[in-house]
Structure 1
Amino acid sequence: MLDRRLHRRDFLAQTLLSGTLALGANPLSASENKLPVLGQNQFQYRPVAGWGVLDDKTPVKNCSAMVVDAQGRIYLLTDHLANNVIVYDKDGKLINKWGTRFPGAHGLQIVKENDREVLFITDLNLHRVFKTTLDGEILMEVIYPKSTGKYASEKEFRPAWTLHLPDGDFFVLDGYGKDYIMRYNRAGKVLNYFGGPEGGIAHWGPHGGTIDTRGPGEPELVIAMSDQQTIKRLSLDGKLIEEIALPGSNPRMIQIVGEHMFVPHLADNWPKDRDSRGYISVLDRDYKIVSNIGGTPPRYVDGKLQPMRQQGSFFQHPHDLLVATDGAIYVPQFASGNTYPVKLVPETST
């Protein structure tokens, strides 16, 4: 858990961007061109003032993840027990909300199963993974993988995120527990596991990621290794393909968009500096950073990436992101003063 006291400057900036001054009025709604432009090269974005801010009937605590369904509805996962899942339209208006049973709500994925979409929610405190309908009916619970022999009890299992294959198999990243990666079939049966300390994965490692099916070879697991400040490329059976160092980062999740990857970093010097803040990186097909949104421009010396850091104090602690089909980026933030997600739009569209 983060414990961060906001500086007055940062509090005012976040309040303005949330549009919560003057009884909910948005003082910047008529002058969004005054908001900062973030990022470099072709990946530059401007925040949208007041997006997604709701009233006290729909509170948030830690905002940890966001996905979008086939109809364009945006799902936010928060660990506030008044409403674990908040459903927005693209303009930030409330469509629906549900969930009062996920105190450790953390990871969220949306998956197409035959003719329907379902959600996968990881809960750190309940030590399990839940599969639900889009409106919250629980369809399956995945408990700790006792059959692996690696867990003495369910309390050691604290799943961070799930990654999914087209055939229904999925991987669970135990990034807050014992750092194993388990593969399950669609019925929730363990098929394989790897990682952990004996598999070369240090603690506070496999937090989130994606499955890269862009080829030309076999699909790969691409894992955001959080406190290790790296991204690991693994085969589907856990063999290391490559490890990419990202000094001054803390990658939490990965989304592939065409030939690029978008990676939110919780902070630039975490966990050494608990007051450090985060940003978003955009990586090309060769895993070279081409833009740091809210961070310093990427710099390579003799092919080696130099340490990066947050710049401009816009973000607090980005934990996930959603890049929509129109190019907009939605960013939920963890332990950031109970603030709602932020939306950014490409600078070329403003």
Structure 2
Amino acid sequence: MLKQKIAIPKSSNNCHGKIIGTDKYQYSIDTHWGKLDEQQIAVENCHAFAIDSLGRIFMVTDHPDNNIVVYDKEGNLIDVWGREYPGAHGIKIVSEQGQDYIYLVDSGWILNRNWDGVSTDEWDSPTNKVIAQSGFVAKLTIDGKLIYTIGHPQTVGAYQPDMPFRPTDVAIAANGDIYVTDGYGSDYVLRYNSKGQYQEKWGGHDNQDPNHNLINAHGIELDNRDKANPKLIVSSRAEQCLKQFTLAGEYLATIATPGAWIHAPVIVGSLMYSAVCWSHIDGSNVDGSGFICIFDTDNQVIATLGGEPPSYIDGKLQPLVTDWSVFTHCHGLCVDDEGNIYVGQWRANGSYPMKLTPV
């Protein structure tokens, strides 16, 4: 949640049935897939998705009346629950000893009971629509029962009291280690063991080698495509890139995405997908300019859904921009076993998630 400076109107918001993408990465848009009765189950922002072992699709929303909405593949409502997570932002579902568990990230943003009815981007104002408090990570059973929480790192000596903690995403390693990105707080990656006990941190803004810096560390994913050398991929959104680290936090490489404020990567099979919230044009983030990137095994952008086709010159990716006709602010997505993409949006007038079906 960072302030945007300029806005360019979209050419159309009516994209149901539209074909987007190029070559073998073309998708048909179903804008009706996730729609529900707004009087019964409304959404504020659709932040993140995860799929459990039964193929059910869990969507995180920060609406004060419900935080988790569960769909089947056809978009039918299965369940809805949770008012305890007003800043609900990230989710991962992991199978542990044959049981599914949810790791839910609350970033600390809450609706302001003193909202002036106007301000939406004045994050330091006491009358803004949303205001910040400290966030947390919760481990839950698959039906939402709380097991434990991970709170402000000052409680374990990892942060000073004046350092904000507003986590945005989480990744779980094969040994159960938990990696948390503090993307709206102090921009560290914090590692905990499977019991939620603090181990170490890295990132922040002040490293001697700027490659180790993270600025708006919005999302994180475990990359097991090279099974002998698992990696972490972290979005450094304000730097318009993804950064690769070892599981011990050693910097490996940067995946540049110029022109794209890119979110958490999602890896399915050999491909990596990531939502883009804003195009960055002439030094500013632009409202209504989101799209989706697809990367190959070499971390090259091979498709931009809702964006102009990617172009490389002398091995360097040229700035990515939206085509203005599809999305507002893509925020989270997941991909099922048939290659369908489910995508949700931030600040999209309370719209429900879409389904993108391969053509």
Instruction: State if a TM-score over 0.5 links the two structures.
Output: yes
Q: CA deviation at 1:8?
A: 8.2
User: What residue is the counterpart of 1:318 in the other structure?
Assistant: 330
- Residue matched to 1:230: 241
Q: What one-letter code is carried by the residue in structure 2 that aligns with 1:222?
A: I
Task: Tell me which of 41, 53, 61 is aligned to 2:23.
Answer: 41
Q: Could you say what secondary structure the match of 2:14 adopts?
A: helix
Classify the secondary structure of the residue corresponding to 2:179. strand
Stretch of structure 1 that moved more, 328-337 or 276-285:
276-285
Partner of 2:169: 161
Give the letter aligned to residue 52 of structure 2: D
What SS class does the counterpart of residue 206 from structure 2 fall into?
helix
Aligned residue for 2:278, secondary structure, equals coil
- Residue 27 of structure 1 aligns with which residue? none
- The residue matched to 1:236 in structure 2 has which SS? coil
The 1-side partners of 2:82 and 2:31 are apart by 27
**Secondary structure of 1:227 counterpart:** helix
The equivalent of 1:123 in structure 2 is 106
Distance 1:150 1:96 in 2: 37
Structure 1 residues 148, 219: CA separation in 2 closer, same or farther (over 3 Å shift)?
farther
Q: Which of the residues 140, 143, 164 maps onto 1:132?
A: 140
- Larger helix percent: 1
1:54 is aligned, of 36, 58, 61, to 36
1:185-334 alignment runs, 5 A limit: 185-199=193-207, 200=210, 202=213, 204-215=215-226, 217-269=228-280, 272-334=284-346
State whether structure 2 residue 153 is matched by structure 1 residue 174.
Answer: no
Is the Cα–Cα contact under 8 Å of residues 273 and 295 in structure 2 kept in the other structure? yes
Q: Distance in 1 between matches of 2:342 and 2:18?
A: 16
- Which stretch of the first structure deviates more once superposed, 212-221 or 50-59? 212-221
Runs of 5+ unmatched residues, structure 1: 18-34
SS in 2 for 1:273: strand
Give the partner amino acid of 2:169: W
Question: Which of 140, 155, 160 is the equivalent residue of 1:151?
Answer: 160
CA distance in 2, matches of 1:101, 1:207: 22
Supply the distance in 2 between the matched residues of 1:179 and 1:8 (Cα, whole angstroms).
Answer: 32
Distance 1:251 1:330 in 2: 17
Residue 114 of structure 1 and its aligned partner are, at CA, apart by 1.1
Q: Tell me, what secondary structure is at the counterpart of 1:151?
A: coil
Distance 1:113 1:129, change over 3 A: same
Contact 2:11–2:324, Cα closer than 8 Å, also in 1: no
1:97 is aligned with what amino acid?
V
Distance 1:8 1:185 in 2: 45
Aligned residue pairs, count: 326
Equivalent pair of 2:60/2:68 in contact (CA under 8 Å): yes
Distance 1:2 1:198, change over 3 A: closer
Structure 1 residues 216 and 127: alpha-carbon distance in aligned structure 2, compared to 1, 3 A threshold = closer
Matched, 1:68 2:34: no
What is the CA-CA distance between 1:198 and the residue it aligns to?
Answer: 2.9
Give the TM-score normalised by the residue count of structure 2: 0.86
Q: Matches of 1:304 and 1:8 in 2, distance apart?
A: 28
The CA deviation at 1:184 is: 0.4
Whichever residue aligns with residue 338 of structure 2, its letter is D
- TM (norm. structure 1) is 0.88
Contact 2:341 2:357 in 1 (8 A): yes
Tell me, yes or no, if the aligned pair for 2:288 and 2:324 is still in contact at 8 Å.
no
Structure 2, unmatched stretches of 5+, are 109-133
Q: Structure 1, residues 7-43: CA drift from partner, whole Å, max 9, x if none?
A: 5854x526xx4xxxxxxxxxxxxxxxxx221111211
Give 1:217 deviation, angstroms.
4.1
Whole-angstrom distance in 1 between the partners of 2:18 and 2:61:
27
**Cα drift, residue 127 of structure 1:** 1.4
Question: Hey, what's the Cα distance between the residues in 2 that align with 1:239 and 1:305?
Answer: 25
Question: Does the aligned pair in 2 maintain the 1:41–1:290 contact within 8 Å?
Answer: no
Contact 2:222 2:232 in 1 (8 A): yes
CA deviations over 1:262-297 (Å, ceiling 9, x no partner): 111111117813424111111111111111111111
Does the residue aligned with 2:262 lie in a helix, a strand or coil? coil
Structure 2 SS opposite 1:286: coil
- Which segment drifts farther, 267-276 or 189-198? 267-276
